[in-house]
Amino acid sequence: MLNPRTALIIGLVSISIFPVLVKWAPVSGITSAFYRMFFGFVLILPYVFLTKKFRWPDRDQWIPIILCGLIFASDIAVWNLSITLSNVTQATLLANLSPVWVGLGSFLFLPDKPKSAFWTGTLVALAGIVVLIGFEQFTSFQLDAGFWLAMFSGLLYATYILVSKAVLGKVDIVSFMTINMAVSSIYLLLICLVFQQPIGGFDTTVWGVFVVQGLICQLVGWLALNYAVKKMDAKKVSLSLLSQAVVSGFFAWIFIGEQITLQMILGGLIILAGIAITYRTKKRPEVSNELEI
């Protein structure tokens, strides 16, 4: 038995380790993304074969599942490209606009419209992101190619949350993840080849980091997050993922000695307060609290 909110926390912590692991493996961001997806796919196969949990989706679900894989992989690739054309600060903040796009998408296309608590919490959480990163960084943004790519990354992330929410209502999580990671791996491999990114010749430490990324950040992290998306309000899940900046900063402080300032602490607290606002609604009965994988 696993509560969806517990799954959300597990997933959030798991994916928040990724930036620290990337720093431990000094390779291309797109290469890291490829091996994260590839090893996640490889590591789920023994479970799939031994338990026979995999079920071929109905014909009408294949296109949405493949689309999810392409969107997720594109988000990673576009975000990394936006960093190379601008800077980490700008790319991170603009990509974190995804809850806004999820809210707008829900308002336009879904029957479950965002409530005022969601918009209030989103504004507070985004203000926390600005405080955490620094207002001076925010005011120095340039409307260049990196800016628009980072905006596009946030749209892709939001689209993935909304599309996967619809798909996971009809497909079990393991089958969805298996196909999703296979599609993403092939797509990211092609991107690595097109942009001539290194895919071999790494030392043992780097390969070890790739395996941990695939196991923890991708497999464990997104099994848990997809379960949360399936059982919870997609808007709340999207907004909760803003706290990844806080958790990643904590891991960076512990493992690689990055400094935590008072400004970062204040920004983190504001982000968490914004997320808390969205959860202050009347509790609805859960469909099921059991994680079936």
CB count, 10 Å around CB of 20? Answer: 19
First-to-last alpha carbon distance for the chain, in angstroms, is 11
User: Directed axis angle between helix 88-95 and helix 59-85, to 10°?
Assistant: 150
Q: Would you say 5 and 290 are in contact if contact means Cβ atoms under 8 Å apart? A: no
CB count, 10 Å around CB of 116? Answer: 8
Q: What is the pLDDT of residue 288?
A: 45
CA distance 183 to 242: 26
Q: What is the pLDDT of residue 34?
A: 92
Which pLDDT band, with edges at 50, 70 and 90, does 143 fall under? Answer: low
Q: What is the pLDDT of residue 136?
A: 67
Helix and strand numbers (H, E) in the chain are 15, 0
Q: Would you say 227 and 7 are in contact if contact means Cβ atoms under 8 Å apart? A: yes
Residue 286 scores a pLDDT above 60: no
Q: Would you say 97 and 130 are in contact if contact means Cβ atoms under 8 Å apart? A: no
Return the minimum-mean-pLDDT range out of 100-109, 132-141, 221-230, 280-289: 280-289
148, two tokens:
């628009």
Mean per-residue pLDDT over the chain, rounded: 80
Q: What is the pLDDT of residue 140?
A: 60
Q: pLDDT by residue (tens digit) across 5-64? A: 899 999 989 988 877 777 777 787 788 889 999 999 999 999 898 888 888 888 888 999
116-127: average pLDDT: 80
Segment (H or E) for 280: none
CA distance 109 to 162: 10
CA distance 128 to 96: 11
Q: What is the pLDDT of residue 108?
A: 72
Which pLDDT band, with edges at 50, 70 and 90, does 210 fall under? Answer: very high
Q: Where are the beta strands (DSSP E) in the chain?
A: none
Task: Identify which has the larger pLDDT, 291 or 30.
Answer: 30
Note the Cα 175 to chain centre separation in Å. 19
